[in-house]
Chain A
Amino acid sequence: MFRIGSLAQDTLDLENLAAQPVRIDAPEGDYSHETQTRVRKAGHDTVMWTPNATQTFNFQGRPNDADSD
Chain B
Amino acid sequence: MKTLLITNSFDETSDFLLGDFAPGQVFRLNYDLIKDYEIFFNNEYYKIETPFLSIEKHEVAKVLWRKAFLGSEHFDLELTKFHAAEYKYILREIMNIAIKEGKFVLNFPDADQFQGKIYQNMVAKKYFKVPETNFISSQRSIEVLDKKIAKSLSSKNFSDGKVLYTTDISGKTLRPQNPFYIQEKISAELDVTVVYVYGKIFSYCLDRKLFNGLDWRSNPFELAKFWKEYHLSKDKLELIESLMSELNWCYGRLDFLLSGDDLIFLEVNPNGQWGWLDSNKINGLFAAIRDAIDPQLPIPISRLT
- List residues of A whose CB falls within 8 A of some B CB: 1-8, 10-15, 17-22, 24-27, 31, 33-38, 46-59, 61-69
Contacts of A4 in B (CB 8 A): 138, 140-142
Contacts of B28 in A (CB 8 A): 36
Q: Which residues of chain B from 156 to 172 have a CB within 8 Å of any chain A CB?
A: 156-159, 161-165, 167, 169, 172
- List residues of B whose CB falls within 8 A of some A CB: 8-16, 18-19, 26-28, 30, 33, 36, 50-53, 67, 69-75, 77, 79-81, 84, 110, 112, 134, 136, 138, 140-146, 150, 154-159, 161-165, 167, 169, 172-176, 178-180, 217-221, 224, 253, 269, 271-276, 279
B21 to chain A, nearest CB (A): 9
Using known A-B contacts A19-B165, A50-B67, A58-B70, determine if residue A65 contacts B143 with beta carbons closer than 8 Å.
no
A53 CA / B70 CA spacing, docked (Å): 13
Contacts of A53 in B (CB 8 A): 155, 157, 163
Contact across chains for B16 and A59 when beta carbons are under 8 A apart:
no
Contacts of B178 in A (CB 8 A): 13-14
Partner of B30, one of A15, A27, A31, A66: A31
In the complex, residue of chain B having the shortest beta-carbon distance to the beta carbon of A49: B273
B87 to chain A, nearest CB (A): 10
B57 to chain A, nearest CB (A): 19
Using known A-B contacts A17-B150, A55-B72, A56-B72, determine if residue A47 contacts B224 with beta carbons closer than 8 Å.
yes
A15 CA / B158 CA spacing, docked (Å): 8
What are 7 A-B pairs at a CB distance below 8 A?
Answer: A12-B169, A38-B15, A50-B67, A50-B273, A51-B220, A56-B70, A64-B157
Contacts of B221 in A (CB 8 A): 22, 24, 47
Partner of A5, one of B53, B141, B175: B141
A15 to chain B, nearest CB (A): 6
Using known A-B contacts A18-B164, A50-B67, A62-B159, determine if residue A11 contacts B173 with beta carbons closer than 8 Å.
yes
Per DSSP, are chain A's interface residues mostly helix, strand or loop, or mixed?
loop
Partner of B50, one of A33, A58, A68: A33
Using known A-B contacts A11-B174, A52-B217, determine if residue A36 contacts B26 with beta carbons closer than 8 Å.
yes
In the complex, residue of chain A having the shortest beta-carbon distance to the beta carbon of B81: A59
Contacts of A61 in B (CB 8 A): 73
Contact across chains for A49 and B140 when beta carbons are under 8 A apart:
no
B252 to chain A, nearest CB (A): 12
A69 CA / B14 CA spacing, docked (Å): 15
Using known A-B contacts A48-B16, A48-B279, A57-B70, determine if residue A12 contacts B173 with beta carbons closer than 8 Å.
yes
Contact across chains for A5 and B173 when beta carbons are under 8 A apart:
no
Contacts of A51 in B (CB 8 A): 217, 220, 273
Contact across chains for A6 and B142 when beta carbons are under 8 A apart:
yes
A47 CA / B144 CA spacing, docked (Å): 38
Q: Which 10 A-B pairs give the minimum distances between C-beta atoms?
A: A48-B275, A68-B155, A18-B162, A6-B143, A53-B163, A49-B273, A63-B157, A3-B143, A8-B173, A11-B175
